[in-house]
A = this chain, B = another copy of it.
Amino acid sequence: MSPSNIDPNLRSWVDIPEHSDFPIQNLPFGIYSTGDTPRRVCTAIGDYVADLQILSEHGFFEDLELESGIFEQATLNAFIGQGLSKTRAVRQRLADIMDDDLEEWDASELRTFFLIPQSEVTLHLPLAIGDYTDFYSSLEHATNVGSLFRGKDNALMPNWRHLPVGYHGRSSSIVVSGTEIAHPSGQYLPEGAEHPVFGPSQRLDFELETAFVVGRNSTMGQPVSTDEANDYIFGMVLFNDWSARDIQRWEYQPLGPFLGKSFASAISPWVVTMDALSSFRCDGPEQEPEVLPYLKLPDSSSYDIHLEAILETPDGKRMSLCQTNHKHLYWRMVQQLAHQTSNGCNVRIGDLYASGTISGPDPGSFGSLLELTQNGTRPITLPDGSKRTFLGEGDTIILKGYCEGNGIRIGFGECRSTIVAT
């Protein structure tokens, strides 16, 4: 068994429901609290949260030479900052503790002292996010959006196949799953109008994305190569890049998306480690023309992650809006990081680098309503027969994601946001 990858045959004594996102092979990291317990580092196992501070107090990490108080933190940044060898050792120790073969404790009542049902805790934004970049790395998404706005022949800009296009995003308004999103207002130009108006967005949309979390500070002026990039990528989260298409459309020339995005982005509470995802590496789309040397692609740097977006309407009805896969992404995470740092820009622990909307080749795999409804011209039909183009107050979007293979499922849980009136 490699130090990074927990034995696929391992089973836990913790009762784990079938199809749970959180088997003993996952062990993601998050931050929880309860009415009695302030924010602390935890992991997920089945339907439970495991409190790492309690385990630490009982001496389970004593030999790992961790900084004192490293689990009594409001974010994961300090824990991640201990370095990959220590965070790996902690994750491996967690697996040892929950291993079915563990013979140290017989009484099951005793050995669950560090487990709390997820339903009884609050999960928090797990990171202090210094900078956040949103890439635009799906060829299908860039082509779909470009076709809608500039026609099929000009869909892709000349730079698109040469570099992972991206823009700086807003960190302050990234919230954790479960946080209500205030319906944004803004300035937009109504169809056919001569003057802009200010009011609630009429074209509120989600974007199905993932983001990777930086696990190591880089030095300003020193690029990180595609070969080195994996050492800087700690884990991944689901990412909903909430978008107000009308605000975005009016404002974005010439400096890019701004208020059409900055009202909110949502992430899943669990940071799934790249170690947990490593069995699901795969080859991705061929890149043509060949990329410049600083973007040279290491083998198998795509990930086979099933992704889904679900709409829950105010009456509680649910429908799947799209199903796609991370492996469709043209630009890989290691290339995004190499590009981001190629000019000497430094990255910091806790930074988020989002994929951009992940669309696949067929219409059922388009990761935004902009694409699914062809910019609002082809409404989707809801379970009750009503039609819908964009989102409104009371609507909930749920993102889900998981890898599956060899009888193991490594999942992200969900990223859920409900739109509310301001």
Q: Chain B residues near A292: list those with CB within 8 A.
A: 187, 196-198
Q: Are A256 and B259 in contact, CB atoms less than 8 angstroms apart?
A: no
Q: Does A172 contact B (CB under 8 A)?
A: yes
CB closest chain-B residue, reference A168: B168
Scan residues 364-384 of chain A and give those whose CB is less than 8 A from a CB of chain B.
Answer: none
Contact A251-B165, Cβ < 8 Å, known A171-B130, A172-B131, A256-B257: yes
Q: Does A167 contact B (CB under 8 A)?
A: yes
Per-residue contact bits, chain A 162-200, to B (CB 8 Å; 1 contact, 0 not): 110111111111010000001011110100000111100
Contact of A173 among B195, B220, B254 (CB under 8 A): B220
Q: Chain B residues near A260: list those with CB within 8 A.
A: 343
CB closest chain-B residue, reference A162: B196
Q: Are B172 and A343 in contact, CB atoms less than 8 angstroms apart?
A: no
Q: Are B262 and A221 in contact, CB atoms less than 8 angstroms apart?
A: no
Per-residue contact bits, chain A 315-358, to B (CB 8 Å; 1 contact, 0 not): 00000000000000000000000011011111110010000000
Q: How many copies does the complex hold?
A: 2
Q: Are B162 and A187 in contact, CB atoms less than 8 angstroms apart?
A: yes
Q: Does A114 contact B (CB under 8 A)?
A: no
CB closest chain-B residue, reference A167: B255
Q: Max chain B CB contacts within 10 Å: which of A158, A170, A221?
A: A221
A131 and B256 alpha carbons, distance in the complex (Å): 16
Q: Does A264 contact B (CB under 8 A)?
A: yes
A260 and B159 alpha carbons, distance in the complex (Å): 14
Q: Are A345 and B259 in contact, CB atoms less than 8 angstroms apart?
A: yes
Q: Are A159 and B198 in contact, CB atoms less than 8 angstroms apart?
A: no
Kindly list 16 other residue pairs between chains A and B, CB separation below 8 angstroms, not including A165-B254, A252-B255.
A159-B250, A168-B258, A172-B346, A172-B348, A173-B344, A173-B345, A175-B220, A187-B342, A198-B342, A247-B343, A255-B256, A259-B339, A259-B340, A259-B345, A262-B340, A263-B344
